[in-house]
Amino acid sequence: MKRSRLLNSELSYAISRIGHTASITLCDAGLPIPPGPQRIDLAIENGYPSFLRTLDALLSEMMVEEIVVATEIHEHNDSVFVQMMESFESHSMSPAVTKVSHEEFKQLTQSSEAIVRTGECTPYANVILKSGVVF
């Protein structure tokens, strides 16, 4: 049995396959998922698993050099943004932050290697994680 924190085999596999600058999108339960990227659906019920808890587990295995968020997160869900940045800090990461409109964000998800859907039901709890390198 795997010893590291992240137990979901599809998510572990997706992380292991991506290279530098490739991306994985982590999203709330409502973000439309386009055809193309691998869909990893973790949503079980409203709020479970949460966006932040899933992000924290994901960051235990993935180096992130840049994130993309919708500008609307600051108006509608700034506390999630603040907590998200604290999670990066706790994993000794300080990724560059790119902000785009929610409409542009949805378009950018099409180029993600995988889209991970959580049970989060708060607005704009979505992030595109661009892979960094560990050296």
Regarding the domain delimited by 9-131, which CATH topology (the fold level of the hierarchy) does it fall under? RbsD-like fold (3.40.1650)
76 as an active site residue: the answer is no
Give residue-wise pLDDT tens across range 32-85: 999 999 999 999 999 999 999 999 999 999 999 999 999 999 999 999 999 999
Feature table: binding site: 28, 102, 124-126
What's the pLDDT score for residue 1? 67
What's the pLDDT score for residue 4? 81
What's the pLDDT score for residue 116? 98
Q: Is 95 exposed, middle or buried (0-12, 13-18, 19+ CB in 10 A)?
A: middle
> How much helix, strand and coil, in percent to the nearest 5, is found in the chain?
35, 25, 45
Share of the chain above pLDDT 90, in %: 95
Domain limits, the chain:
9-131
What is the arithmetic mean of pLDDT over 126-131?
98
Feature table: binding site for substrate: 28, 102, 124-126
